[in-house]
């Protein structure tokens, strides 16, 4: 069930994010709504009967979250907790008996990249912890990882879905050497542009070219962050990685 949700969520995530940005003007509010939609969609996925398309169902959740936010703002009751706060304050889910010993710390280039991304502030501490736990034990379930960190397994799955694109962006912006170097990345970029099944959109291509290939750190066109994450996901598929 978790894998089914992850597959569907990754497919609709760009459209959900676009809706959140259209619905509210403030970037922080859009991110809060997006995070809450991810959590509520995961929690309700088991009861999703498929009467409507998954995207339609998720957007209905997003509309409710927007309405809640507007109501809170008008009532001056504050902003709902972020995903990090929600997961850190989740009710205890650990069994009464001690859980299994945690695996040895993750090693390898991906683990080092995750730690570096956290040091740069590109990943939050909880995002880095979940990524490293997954790298340390790829066969662990989300509940196993949740037990290691005192969180619900589903929250770990959502955090992982959000952290992986951030890690990709960090690698492209700070560690091209781990991806094969600029020439390899440029070649992969051109291949992604011409992909017959899932090519880079014009916005994704422009954002990737300016920020990654031309190192224009000040480029900030509307929607650049989501375009860059999506572009990195398409380009990385054409790289030969360990």
pLDDT tens track for 49-61: 665 688 888 888 8
Per-residue model confidence (pLDDT) at position 89? 42
Average pLDDT, rounded, for the chain: 80
Mean pLDDT of 81-105: 44
Residues contacting 76, CB < 8 A, separation 6+: none
Residues contacting 90, CB < 8 A, separation 6+: 150, 151, 152, 155
Per-residue model confidence (pLDDT) at position 242? 65
Report residue 41: phi and psi, to 5°.
Answer: -65, -40
Which of 2.40.110.10, 3.30.300.30, 1.10.260.40, 1.10.1740.10 would CATH assign to domain 2-80? Answer: 1.10.1740.10
- For residue 18, give the 3-state DSSP assignment: helix
Per-residue model confidence (pLDDT) at position 27? 79
pTM above 0.75, yes or no: no
How many H-runs (helices) and E-runs (strands) does the chain carry? 11, 0
Above 90 in pLDDT, residue 36?
no
Ordered by start, the domain boundaries in the chain are 2-80, 81-91+106-174, 175-242
Using pLDDT thresholds of 50, 70 and 90, give the confidence band for residue 82.
very low
């Amino acid at each position: 069930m978790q894998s089914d949700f992850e597959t569907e969520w990754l497919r609709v995530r760009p459209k959900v994010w676009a809706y959140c940005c259209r619905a509210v003007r403030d970037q922080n509010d859009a991110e809060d709504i997006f995070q809450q939609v991810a959590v509520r969609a995961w929690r309700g996925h088991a009861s999703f009967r498929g009467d409507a398309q998954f995207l339609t169902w998720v957007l209905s959740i997003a509309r409710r979250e927007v309405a809640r936010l507007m109501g809170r703002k008008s009532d001056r009751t504050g902003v709902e907790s972020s995903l990090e706060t929600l997961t850190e304050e989740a009710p205890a889910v650990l069994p009464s008996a001690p859980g299994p010993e945690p695996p040895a710390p993750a090693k390898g280039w991906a683990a080092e990249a995750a730690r570096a991304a956290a040091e740069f502030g590109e990943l939050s501490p909880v995002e880095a912890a979940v990524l490293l736990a997954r790298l340390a034990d790829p066969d662990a379930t989300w509940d196993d990882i949740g037990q290691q960190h005192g969180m619900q397994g589903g929250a770990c799955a959502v955090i992982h879905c959000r952290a992986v694109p951030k890690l990709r962006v960090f690698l492209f912006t700070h560690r091209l050497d781990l991806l094969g170097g600029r020439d390899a990345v440029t070649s992969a970029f051109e291949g992604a542009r011409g992909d017959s099944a899932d090519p880079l959109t014009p916005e994704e291509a422009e954002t990737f070219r300016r920020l990654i290939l031309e190192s224009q750190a000040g480029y900030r066109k509307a929607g650049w962050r989501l375009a860059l994450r999506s572009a990195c996901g398409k380009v990385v598929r054409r790289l030969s990685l360990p």
